[in-house]
Every structure is written in structure tokens, then in C-alpha cells.
Amino acid sequence: MPVVILAGFLGAGKTTLLNHLLAGTRGTRIGVVVNDFGSVNVDALSVAGQVDSTVSLENGCLCCAVDASGLDRMLSTLTDPAADLDLVVVEASGLAEPRSLVRLVLASEDPYLEYGGLVELVDAAEFPAMRERHPELAGQVAMADLVVLNKVDRAADGVAELVRELAGATPVLHAEFGRIDPELLFDRVDAAPDDGPRQLTFDDLRFEEPGAGDDGHGHGDCDHDRAGDHASHAHAVYDTVTVETGPLHPRRFAAFLETRPAGLYRMKGTVTVGAGGHRDAYEVHTVGAYVRAERVAPVGDPASRLVLIGVGVDAEGLRAEVEQCSTAVAGEAVEQDLLPLLRYVADPSRGAGDGVAGEAPAGAADITDNLDPDDPDPDDPDPDGPDPDDSDDADPDTADSGTADRAAAVDTVTAVDTVTAVDTGAGVGTGAGVDLAESEPAPTGCVAHPEAFDGLVAPDEVDPER
């Protein structure tokens, strides 16, 4: 269950965007956590659909009122397969600290939960003035997976350039009234009448007829395109590239993952990697800076199929880069070449080739290399090995103490679905600001938002007494 965090300063348009998503789901079922600020749950009330369950947290906003297990408890009724939802969106209060929320989601032990990205809304009218008063907003833009520059109808002079610069490699979408394409955030369910609603699977992607419903530039099945309303449709501002190729050289592919171009927001698909005569298939999923790979059953032909979605990316260049990773071009790999890829595998002991199945491969422990925002470290002679310089990941100065400037908030957990009520349960949020840096080890097995781990204790610094 992808959990998308929707953040942005007060009034940036989070609820407006959420309502747009809810209105455009066409069968996709979304659970929503609304993190209202103030004593009246305006956002919860204004979110479209039926609001059937509410939990109030009276002692602070979501990110400082719960720890990871508290968040798990809160979300578990939404992520539980029995709830039959396809996506959870956490709308952070305008005062919430997205870094803390990202940490909580990444530290989740809920087996059904997967980080779905941090979407940061920026108010194009107010941002320059807001930033003067709240310099931390710049950091929030920098750590997002997708920046939505909203209210472009009222944009202040120079704001697009300013946000573009602050966003660095993160894609920036321009929007009015939060009208972005929902498919940027989730795979729509297939509403085929003979099949019933369900989540799009990678198999759907793999076996989709090339050209079926395609508008000629990779946008695929899309009502708006068929309606000829392309110019006003958010698809017009991003590119989708589908690459089908043979088995990939794992080291070369891992290098591609590490150097993904600015603007590439999502990537999903199944790749087969060849090493030491073995063939292993992995489902790969990236959202912004986050990468996750999971070993899956072998796939047929094509051995590797990836869908890449980005803003302002060089589509043909991307295709060529992936194709360069194929063993046909890069040559056969040896088993050692798997190691750079295994850092992205959720359970590395499952990720090794048949020859070493069941063992945690050497190098799997090096996952913390990725917690350093500056990685890959050009000075590191062995980019796949432990990097002594990575101790800066544990810099206490960068840890977020969290609560200082957050006013009391009333948080509501709301299950929104046009049909089904989901009881979100009670008893959440009695903690008074748990600092994850003190209590949670860095999650391993997935790699995301290095900044989110600032202040976490590096494995070699863990005090065994604690």
C-alpha cells in the first residue's frame, strides 16, 4: 500500500489537491489521513466523499504526536488488505514537519505499507514572502520527491525560477487548483467490467498491448486523450517512457539508479538481471529519491520492462541509458556485480542469485552508504563498501528536534471512500513527541531521502547498552 505524504505550508492548496485526486480516482480507493490544524476539522469536512471515522489527537500534530509504531497502528486499518484500498494519502497539517513524517513512514514495520513519496505543495503566490519568515520551507522543497508549484494563476514574479533552483533534482510541476494527474501518485485500478476493480499490476504493465490506447507519445490509456482535451490535461507536462529490453547487467543498472536524471519522478517495472549464469527478476519501484527492489518470480519476454515518468526529461536519452545496461551491451556480469543492486532490495537475503540464496550477501550491510546525501562518494575507493565518512549521517546537529514551532493541532484520521467506511481505530497519539533519532535504528533494505535520516544513529555508533 503506497503511502503518499502531501505537505505544504498553510493554504498552499493541499486540501484542494486532495479533493482533485479523490474526484479523479475512477475506481481507485483512497484512504486519507487528514492532519488538520485548528479546532475545527475543516479539511476533514471538506474532503469529498463520506467521512466515516475520525480520531482526534489533541496534543500536537501528527509528526510529533506519534512514533513509528503509533503511525503503524493508525494506518494499519487503512493498509490492511481487508480495507481494500489502493492508496493512502497523509495530508500533513500546514505546520507539520514533512521530514519527520517521511521518517515515520520509512521506519514503519507494517508489512503492507510502502513509502509512496513526499509531494510538497508550494504556494506560487505566497512562497517568496513566506520563505523570508520561514526559511525552513526551502529545505522542505529540497527534500520532496515531487514539488507542485500551485496557484500559478497568481504566481509571484520569479517564483518559478526560485522554486526550480531550490528543488534541485526534484521534478517541479506547475498547477492550478492542485490539478495534477493522479497517475503521478498511484496506478489506477483497472475498471474493466469483466474483471472488477483492482490495482494495476506490473503484469498489466508488462503485458499491455503496445500502442493500445496509446496517443503516440507513451501516455497510454487515457480518457482525456481520447476526449481530445490533451492541452489542458496534466499529462501534457510530463513524459512517460516504456523501455523493454533483455536481462540487465546489475552493476550497470545500479549505477543508472544512482544517477537517475533530475526530473525522473517515477519508475516501475520488472527487470531481470544476469550474473554468474543466473537470471533473477526484480520488481523495481522508484519515487523521487526513493528506490526499492524486490525479488520476484522469473518473467518471460521481455526480460526487463520499465515505465519511467518524469518532467522535462530526455525520453530517448533515458531509453538509451536503460538499454545500455542490458547484458547484450554491457556484457555478462559476475555474482559480485549483484552487490550494488542488493542495497536496494528490501530483504537482501532473498535477493542473491540462486548460488547464494539464503545468505545475506556481503555488501548487503552496506545499505547505510545510501543514507549519505552526498553518496556516491567520489572519494570512496569502494563505492559498494562501507564508507567511514558516512558517520556524518549521525550528525546530531542535523537532527530534527521537532516540536519547537508547532502549534497545537487537532489531527484527524479519516477514511474516505466513496463506498466503504474504514474504522481507523482509537487510542492513537498519546505520546508527546517521540524523537525517532533517539529510538529507531535506520531502516534498512530501502533507500530514500537521505536527508530524512539526518540524526539517526549510524550502525557502527549504536550503543549496545541501548
Ligand X SMILES: Nc1nc2c(ncn2[C@@H]2O[C@H](COP(=O)(O)OP(=O)(O)OP(=O)(O)O)[C@@H](O)[C@H]2O)c(=O)[nH]1
For the CB of residue 38, give the shortest distance to ligand X in the complex, in Å: 8
- Helix, strand, coil shares of the chain, percent, nearest 5, are 35, 20, 45
Selected binder of ligand X within 2, 13, 98, 455 (CB under 6 A): 13
Selected binder of ligand X within 4, 43, 79, 183 (CB under 6 A): 43
Q: C-alpha cell of 137?
A: 520551507
3-class DSSP assignment, residue 239? strand
Q: C-alpha cell of 158?
A: 520569479
- Candidates 7-15, 68-76, 233-241, 266-274; binding stretch for ligand X (CB under 6 A): 7-15
Q: Which is nearer to ligand X, 148 or 325 (CB)?
A: 148
For the CB of residue 168, give the shortest distance to ligand X in the complex, in Å: 23
Q: Which is nearer to ligand X, 11 or 218 (CB)?
A: 11
Selected binder of ligand X within 1, 7, 8, 54 (CB under 6 A): 8
In angstroms, the CA 393 to CA 374 distance is 10
DSSP letter at 272?
Answer: E
Q: Which is nearer to ligand X, 14 or 131 (CB)?
A: 14
Q: What residue is closest to ligand X based on CB?
A: 94
Using only C-alpha atoms, what is the Rg of the chain?
22
For the chain, how many residues are written?
Answer: 466
For the CB of residue 150, give the shortest distance to ligand X in the complex, in Å: 5
Going along 168-277, which residue ranges are E strands? 172-174, 239-245, 264-275
For the CB of residue 231, give the shortest distance to ligand X in the complex, in Å: 18
> Between residue 125 and residue 184, which ones bind ligand X under the rule CB under 6 A?
150-151, 153-154, 176-178
CA proximity to 43, closest of 22, 72, 71? 22
| Amino acid (one-letter) located at 78 | L
Selected binder of ligand X within 10, 200, 237, 399 (CB under 6 A): 10
Contacts of 426 (CB under 8 A, 6+ apart): 55
**Contact of 290 with 447, CB cutoff 8 Å:** yes
DSSP letter at 134?
Answer: -
For the CB of residue 77, give the shortest distance to ligand X in the complex, in Å: 23
Rule CB under 6 A: say whether 15 interacts with ligand X: yes
Rule CB under 6 A: say whether 23 interacts with ligand X: no
- x-or-dash pattern for ligand X, window 311-350, by CB under 6 A? ----------------------------------------
For the CB of residue 448, give the shortest distance to ligand X in the complex, in Å: 24
The four Cα atoms 295, 29, 115, 258 give a dihedral, to 10 degrees, of: 60
Selected binder of ligand X within 94, 348, 351, 445 (CB under 6 A): 94
β-bridge mates for residue 309, sequence order: 240, 266
Q: Which is nearer to ligand X, 16 or 368 (CB)?
A: 16
β-bridge mates for residue 120, sequence order: 7, 147
Instruction: Return residues touching ligand X (CB under 6 A).
Output: 8, 10-16, 43, 94, 150-151, 153-154, 176-178
